[in-house]
Structures are given as structure tokens and as C-alpha cells.
Amino acid sequence: MTHELAKALLPCLLNVAIALLLSPLYEGILRKVRAAIHSRIGPPITQPYWDLLKLLGKEDLRSAGGAAYASLPPLTLGSLLLLATLTPMGAAAPLSFAGDMIVVLYVAAMSAVLIMLCGFASGSPYAYVGSSREMMMALSVEPILAIALTVGAFKAGSLALGSMTAFQAHNGPSISMAIAGFAFFLALQAQAGKLPFDIAEADQEIMGGPLVEQSGPRLAFLKWAMWTKQLVLAFLLVEVFLPWPRFGALPIDLLISSIKALVVLLLVAVVDVVNPRLRIDQAMGYFMRVGLASLSALAFAVIGK
Amino acid sequence: MTEEYERTLAAVHELMAARSNGSQVSVTRPNPDTLHFIVERKAMRSVADGLFNQLQARFLISVGTDKRPLSGTFGILHVFSFDRAQLYVLVESLIPEDDPRIDSITPVAPGADWAEREFQDAVGVRPEGHPDPRRLLLPDEWPEGVHPLRRDFPYNFQPPPAKNLRPVMRDAPAGATVLPMGPFFPVLEEPAYWRLFVEGETIVGCDNRLFYNHRGIEKLGDSALTYGEIPFLAERICGICGFIHSTCYCQAVEKAAGIEAPRRARYIRTIMLELERIHSHLLWLGIAGHIIGFETVLMQTWRIREPVMWLCEAISGNRKAYGMNTVGGLRRDLPSDIHPQLLKTLADVEKEVIAVRDAILGDSILRARTEGVGVLTKESARSVCVVGPPARASGVAIDARIDHPYAAYDEVRPRIVTQEAGDTWARVVVRVGELVESIRLVREALSAIPEGPICAETKEEIPPDKVGVSVVEAPRGEAVHFVMTGGDNRPYRWRVRAPTYANLQALPAAVMHGTIADVPITLGSLDPCFSCTERLETVDRRTRTVRTYSSAELLEMSRGKGPSGGVR
């Protein structure tokens, strides 16, 4: 019995550990890249770890009372760790089952909703504006994730992410999956809260939006959650849409996936650095067009391309 | 004098005769380009209406002066400018001490709004019929009836502290919520309090409380400092365009006293003014990028800007606050070996500026963020009396360098850039164009600079009761200094109007019906003035020794290799 439990738990723990430990490192690398493009030296790569450590050790100052305000940041991080256990990382997802794609979409949406609630619970007008922007962004970006994964599901004939990965790895690239993967990448830019889509946080306009009243450990949880989110979604992208090469040995596949995820995030960072921030209406119009264009991937999938 | 000048002169005299209804007391011409009318106060609004709306003069500033020691009255003087005719018209009323009131001219010239509120605070003359007579520059806890620019008010007086006083603010319209911006806000490098009235993301109105950092500089000028000391203070009015203010002040005194600065001094002033425009516009471009989240623009433009600062340091010994100006010319000549370095820096900066210009003008997202945003129509730009790039971006082709040539701009003629759209994008285009033009102007001035003395010999004392108006085109727009000379080697009244004073008044019109996301960049596109410091000094409290870190040491420390930072 304990053996069974350990066998089920270990892969979950592995994914959670990757998500928690690797995400600050990747953030540190991305900061270095930003700095290089800025002609700056930039902070040490390990800086995000120190940031977290510092914030976790700080006093917990609260602008509002209530259980929701205090508990939402750890819940947000928790929701993303759940997402990590549903995401394949070098091997099939630890919690995979038939139809887990639907659950992935819900859990991804859940983290956005939780951040939004953080804002609404903090009682600041900036956080209200930020949260309503977060909601509008989620409403325009989530459908694109859904369409892209649906293309994969249609090709593989299954709603399980594991089957999609296996099908894609076995059958090689196709037009429909390329379009869907690109749409997923564009959505990732917004999901990771990067420019030109960091509208919900927009430091210079609304001072961090939902984060404005967060400090100390709560801010640490939220920052960690955001870095985890970009990492996990990058893994999802490379596992479902770019699963090659595949050796079948976990350590090697995991290493390759990690490198591919880093490359995806570097691209995200470069787009972030060379763009100014869009206005919310412009971003929604943009994703409306991306959504419509990504429907063409479905059409290609139907005709077998 | 040009034909335009003669025609305007005649038109002004005719208008004054018609509008003042026989209440005109006197007219003098203190300088060839200045007409000074004294009218009775009942005629003031009608005269201002005629000048501003009929003859299309531009309102510059109001000057409230406590003339009780001279004539037993307060003097309220409005300065108008006829730009094409190169003529200033000063209209003054003498207000009796026991009845300090005058008709407000804001209803006929909206640009006078703050200027009138300011003399109400500072001198205590009430503008009757002003649409918004709230406090402008005095702090909220300042006692009623105490007016700091009155002669019997000592410059170092401190009113007793008061607690829990809040500014008087307007209520939000029904259905709108209030989104405060400031007094401390990420994109406002200075304290300023804006209350945005929003419905969802749309702005339906706004209110403001500013002047949190009022430093009482004008008071120091007419009570504690002398003519020769003021240029150093004037230079510190602004952290960016310091040389502009010291030049503007010196020119105003020179004009009042009839001193002619030598040609070489005028050329060097031109060079320094244009160098200031170059580094200021680069700074602004960076800030504008930062406001819309485009940090790469910030980092790169500030890197390009740095050699210009080094150049200023090589010329004057300081990156900022050059301490070069004095009444009558300059205290310091250009270093004899500066030409090669100047030309090389200009060439390097020009190359990079052109690359940045092309990148910015070709960036479609940047354009999408700024086009149609914060529109200031030509009509409102004129009525609020906006100056500088915001005015030129709205199709109001004014530029002090051309309208009232000073320094060497009569020989080194700038080509001005105008746009018609009046939006934030137009303001970007205008400033980027000016940047390239300024580089050309420095080169041209450098090649035409004559040899000779750099300061006029002044043997006599500066006579009292003379007035001088001087304008200088700062990077942010036209700066105005008004000087009325006094007896004890200092001005009787020194009035300063920085360009932001005029431009900020246009913000409510520019943000109306826009969205929250557009407010910071709209404000930023007016280029409100910032200040910065660059050297760090530490004092050891036990040994009381002062240690000044050099820039190399600071660099080492901030990169984590220095003694206190350690390798991380």
C-alpha cells in the first residue's frame, strides 16, 4: 500500500519540485537577457531566489482583513503546482487521465481568477482596475489555449495530454499543429504577464494592479506563482507541440524539455523587451484576431494536414 | 524694426485707446520690444479681452508686485506677447491697499488661470470673477491673510504648524469613482496630486493639487540675494534646464539695465542651451518609453545621453548647474581645446539619435499607443497658452528662438518642427525632430563663433525701476523671466514662469474622455520637469568625516565587486 502511494506521489513531487526550484532560476536568466538588451549588467542569476527569501522573511502587513485576502496568495501558488502535476515534464503527467486536457484548461484559468480575487480582496482602487483588466485578458486569452489544445486533441483523437504528446512525437510536425503552437506561444506571452500584455499589472499606470497591496510573504507567493506559471505553460507548449526528440528515458527527456522551455521563455523575454505596453482594448482586439486565425488550425486538422 | 512690428504697435495703441475708455493712465516703452501700459483696474478685463481675443496676442504671465513702499499700491501686471511682431505688451493696474481686488481676466483668457490664483496667494489681490479661486501655491496649513511676496513678510518666516488639513478638492461627478494619482506615483518623479474621475476605464474629469515643493525662490531673489548671486539660484530652479533659467534671468536684467552681452558670450550661451535641449530630449524620450513600459528605450536613450553630460562637464566642470552665466555675459569661456571633443561627441550622438529616431518612428505598437491619445486641439492649445513642443505639436507654430531672438539665434536660425494632430504621437515626432535639429545648431554655432570678450564691462550700478522681459525656449517650452530692478543691488521683483507651468494647465483638456492607461503617457508627453542628483556623499557619524565616492567607486560597488558589496 505504502509502496503504491509512493509510486503515485513521487512523480508528482518531482514535477512540483521542478516547478518550484527551476522557475526562479529561469526568471534570473530572463532578467540577465533583458539587461543585456538594455545595455545593462543586470542582477546575478540567483537574484530571484534571494528576492523570495527576503520577502518570505518579512513582516506580513495587511491592508485589508478577511480570510480571503490572507489565504489567496498561497492558494494561487498551490493552483499552479496542481497545474504542474497535470503537465507532462519529460514524461507523461503524474496526474494524467483520459480527459485531463479539460482539467488543465480549468486549472490554468483558476490561477488567473485567484490573482483577480487577490486584487478585489485588497480594497485598493488600483487593484480593482488591475483585477478587471486581468479578467478581460483572461477572457480573451483562455479561448486561444483551448483552441490550440483542441487541435492537438483532434489530431490525436484523445482528450489526454499524454496521447497528444505521443501522437505528435510519433507523427512529426503538421501545419495545423504549427499554427496552434504559434497561437499558444502568443497566448503564453499574455499568460506570463509579459509586455506588450502586462496590462493587468502595468506598474506605471496602476502600480502593479492586483499586487499593489501585497507585500512580504504574500508577495513572495504571488511572484513565485507567476514565475511558476510561465515555466509550466512553457513546458506544456514544448511537450504538446514540440515533443521531439524523444528518447524514452526520463532524465534525458526532462533535460531536453527544460532546455526547450528555456528557449521558449527567452523568446518571450525578447518580445517583452522590444515592445511597449498595449492598452487593454488594443490587446483584446489583438487576441480576438489571434483566436480567429487559430481557428484555421482546426480547419487544417479536419482535412488531416 | 519690421513692418509687422509697426503695424502691431499701431493696432495695440488703437485698441488700448478704444478699450480703456479714457482710463489709461500712462504708456512707456522701457525697451524697443516692450510696451508698458498702466490702466485703471476697471478696464483690465476689457483690455485683456481685446489683446487676447481680438489681436490674438499670447498671454505669458501675471506679475503681482507689492509696490506699497513705492506708490502705496499693489501692482498687477499681465504680460502679453505678439510673437510675429517680436513685441511684449505689459498691462498694469495699480490696486489700492485698502481694497485689493481686480477683475479676473481668466474668463476671457483661460491661460491666466494659475497666474491669477498665484498673485492672489502671494500678494493678496483677489481676482474677482475667477472661475476657480482656490489656493494654488500656498500650503493647505498656511494661515489666511499672510501673503509671502509682500514686502513686510520676511523671507525666513515660518508659520505655526497646523494638522490634518486637506486640500479643497472638487467632488467627482455623479456615477464616477475617484482614482487618485499621486502625490507619490511611479511615473510622477515630483509630488503632484491628480484626482481622476473615472467611469470604468474612461476619464470623465480630473482635479489637481500641486506646488508641494514650492521653494520661495522669487522671494529670495528680491530679499536675500544680489543681482550677481541670483544666476546661481536661477540655475537651480530646474534640474534639467538650469542654464535656460540663468540665461533667461541674465537677459532680463541686461535688458532692464541696457547692458549688451558680447557676441562670443551669446554664441556660447546658444551652444550650452542647445546641448541642454539635446540631453533633455533624450531624457524625455527615455521617460516616455518607461511610462508605456518600453524600458529598452529608456536604457538606450540614457546611455546615448551620457556623453553629452560628460561634454558639459568638460566645458563647465559640472554635468549640471554650470555656473557660467552672469549679468552681462559669461564667467567662463569654452576651454580652448574643446572643439575636437565637441564635434566627435556630436557626431557619435547624432548617429545613435538617428538610429533611435528611425526605430521609434517605425514602431507600430508605439504608434498605436500614442496616436490619437491626449489630443490637444489647436484652439485649446491657444486658449490655455500652451508653449513649446506641445504647442508646436498642436499646430501653434511658436518658438521663442524665432519669435523673440536672443543669444545668437538671430544668426543661427533654427528650423522648427510642427505637427497638426495635437496627440501624443505628434509630440513625440516634434521632439525627435528637434533633437536632430539641435545637433545641427550646435555645429553651426561652433563654426560661426567669434573671438572676443565674454563679459560686458559694467561700471555703473543697475538703475532702479526699470523692467525687462526675457524669454528662452527651454526643451519643455518657453521660459519667461520678468525683472523689475530695485535699489539695493537686487531686483525689486523677479518673476519666473517655467514652461511646465503653462503646459500642465492643458492636462485636464488632454486626458478628458481618454482611458486610465493613457493618462501617464499624456502627462509624460507634456514633459513635466524632473530633477536628479548624481553624486553620493556619506558622513561617518562617529568620526564626522565626510567621504565622497567617485563615480568609478560607485560603479564598482553597484556591480558587486567593491569593498562593501562583495561578490554575490
Cβ contact, residue pair A276, B292, below 8 Å? yes
Contacts of B303 in chain A (CB under 8 A): 39
- Across the interface, which of A205, A273, A276 has its CB nearest the CB of B516? A205
What is d(CA B326, CA B371) in angstroms, rounded to the nearest whole number? Answer: 43
Cα(B156)–Cα(B154) distance, integer angstroms: 6
Q: A260-264, B107-111, B459-463: lowest mean pLDDT where?
A: B459-463
Residue B546 has a pLDDT of 59
B28, containing H or E segment: strand B24-31
- Cα–Cα dist A11/A135, whole Å: 33
pLDDT of the residue at B127? 96
> What residues does B468 pair with on adjacent strands?
B483
Instruction: Name the residue of chain B whose CA is nearest to A50's CA.
Output: B568
**A80-84, A144-148, A229-233, B133-137: segment of lowest average pLDDT:** B133-137
* B387 close to B111: Cβ distance less than 8 angstroms: no
Secondary structure of residue A183 in the 3-state scheme: helix
- Strands B58-67 and B126-128: what pairing? unpaired
The dihedral over CA atoms of B295, B297, B303, B304, expressed in degrees to the nearest 10, equals -170
Average pLDDT estimate for B153-167: 83
Residues of B in contact with A40 (CB under 8 A): 299
Assigned C-alpha cell, B341: 571633443
- Is the minimum CB–CB distance between B401 and chain A shorter than 8 Å? no
Which residue ranges does chain B devote to CATH 3.30.460.80?
3-154
- Indicate if the pLDDT at residue B459 is higher than 70: yes
- B67 beta partners: B73
Helix (H, G, I), strand (E, B) or coil at B183: coil
Q: What are phi and psi of B467, to 5 degrees?
A: -120, 150
- Candidate from B353-357, B444-448, B498-502 with smallest mean pLDDT: B498-502
B290 has a chain A CB within 8 A of its CB: yes
- The answer for residues whose C-beta is within 8 angstroms of residue A3's C-beta and 6 or more apart is none
Considering chain B, tell me which residue range(s) the CATH 1.10.645.10 domain(s) occupy: 217-525
DSSP B405-472: --TTTTTSPPPPP--SS-SHHHHHHHHHHHHHHHHHHHHHHHHHPPPS-SB----SPPPSS-EEEEEE
B305 — contact with chain A (CB < 8 Å)? no
Amino acid B556: pLDDT: 67
**Over the stretch B170-189, which tens digit does the pLDDT of each residue have?**
888 888 888 888 788 877 77
pLDDT value at residue A1: 64
Closest residue to B186, CB basis, from A40, A195, A207: A207
Between B550 and B402, whose confidence is greater?
B402
Facing residue for B296 by CB, picked from A38, A46, A277: A38
Confidence at residue B22, expressed as pLDDT on a 0 to 100 scale: 78
- Best A40, A126, A204, A270 member to test B by mutation, with max B CBs in 10 Å, is A204
pLDDT-derived band at A58, boundaries 50, 70, 90:
very high
Smallest CA-to-CA distance from B515 within B393, B368, B364, B373 is with B373
Bridge partners of residue B196, in order along the sequence:
B179, B206
* Residues of B in Cβ contact (< 8 Å) with A205: 187, 516-517, 519-520
pLDDT of residue B433: 95
Which residue among B296, B368, B516 places its CB closest to the CB of A274? B296
| Full residue range of the structural domain in which residue A114 is found | 2-302
Is B517 close to A46, i.e. CB distance below 8 A? no
CA distances from B239 to B188, B235, B427, B497 (A): 15, 8, 22, 15
Q: Is B518 on the interface with A (CB under 8 A)?
A: yes
Contact B295 A196 (CB under 8 A): no
Exposed/middle/buried for B319, CB within 10 Å: 0-12, 13-18, 19+?
Answer: middle
Give the H or E element holding residue A299.
Answer: helix A280-302
CB A189 within 8 A of CB A140: no
Q: What cell was used for A244?
A: 521531439
Grid cell of A284 as nine digits: 483584446
Task: Give CA–CA dist A65/A86, Å, rounded.
Answer: 33
A193/A230 Cα distance (integer angstroms): 8
CB within 8 Å of chain A, chain B residues 533-562: 559-560
Nearest to B369 among A203, A274, A278 (CB): A278
Please report the pLDDT score of residue B159 as a whole number. 84
Going by C-alpha positions, the residue among B276, B281, B290 that lies closest to residue B435 is: B281
With contact defined as beta carbons under 8 Å apart, do A301 and A155 qualify? yes
CB contact, 8 Å: B293 with chain A?
Answer: yes
B516–A199 C-beta distance less than 8 A: no
CA-wise closest residue to B346 among B388, B315, B392, B324 = B315
- Chain A residue whose CA is closest to B295: A273
DSSP annotation of B550 reads P
Above 50 in pLDDT, residue B465? yes
d(CA B325, CA B157): 30
Pairing of strands B101-103, B126-128: parallel
Q: What pLDDT is stored for residue B533 in this prediction? A: 29
What was the pLDDT predicted at B538?
Answer: 47
ipTM above 0.90, yes or no: no
Q: Which residues of B touch A126 (CB under 8 A)?
A: 179
Is the model's pLDDT at A73 over the cut of 70? yes
- Measure A114 CA to nearest chain B CA, in Å: 21
Percent over 90 (pLDDT), chain B: 67
Q: Are A210 and A118 in contact (CB under 8 A)?
A: yes
E strands, B462-521, are: 467-474, 477-485, 491-497
> With an 8 Å Cβ cutoff, is B567 touching chain A?
no
Q: Which residues of chain B make contact with A41, given a CB cutoff of 8 A?
A: 559
CB pairs under 8 A between A and B: 80
Mean pLDDT of chain B: 89
Which one has a higher pLDDT value, B459 or B269? B269
Among candidate residues B414, B477, B482, the one with its CA nearest the CA of residue B443 = B414
Across B146-168, average pLDDT? 86
Residue A96 confidence (pLDDT): 86
Least confident of A250-264, B39-53, B150-164, B473-487: B150-164
Partners of A276 on chain B (C-beta within 8 Å) are: 289, 292-294, 297, 363, 365-366, 369
Report the share of chain B in percent with pLDDT over 70: 93
Q: Does domain B3-154 have CATH number 3.30.420.130?
A: no
Please give the pLDDT value at position B565.
37
Identify the pLDDT of residue B118: 93
Whether B365 sits inside 8 A of A276 (CB atoms) is yes
Rounded Cα distance, A89 and A250, in Å: 9
pLDDT at residue A61 greater than cutoff 90: no
Distance CA B492, CA B502 (A): 24
Quick: pLDDT tens for B288-339: 999 888 999 999 999 999 999 999 999 999 998 899 999 999 999 999 999 9
Q: Does A283 lie at the interface with B, CB-CB under 8 angstroms?
A: no
Count of domains observed in chain A: 1
pTM, entire model:
0.89
> Can you name the residues that pair with B80 across neighbouring β-strands?
B59, B89
* B471 in Cβ contact with B272 (< 8 Å): no
Mean pLDDT, rounded, for B241-267: 95
**What is the dotted CATH code of the domain comprising B217-525?**
1.10.645.10
Residues of A in contact with B292 (CB under 8 A): 204, 276-277
Between CA B88 and CA B80 the distance in angstroms is 6
How near does any CA of chain B get to the CA of A124, in Å?
A: 10
pLDDT band at B562 (very low <50, low <70, confident <90, very high): very low
| Closest Cβ–Cβ partner in A205, A207, A282 for B368 | A282
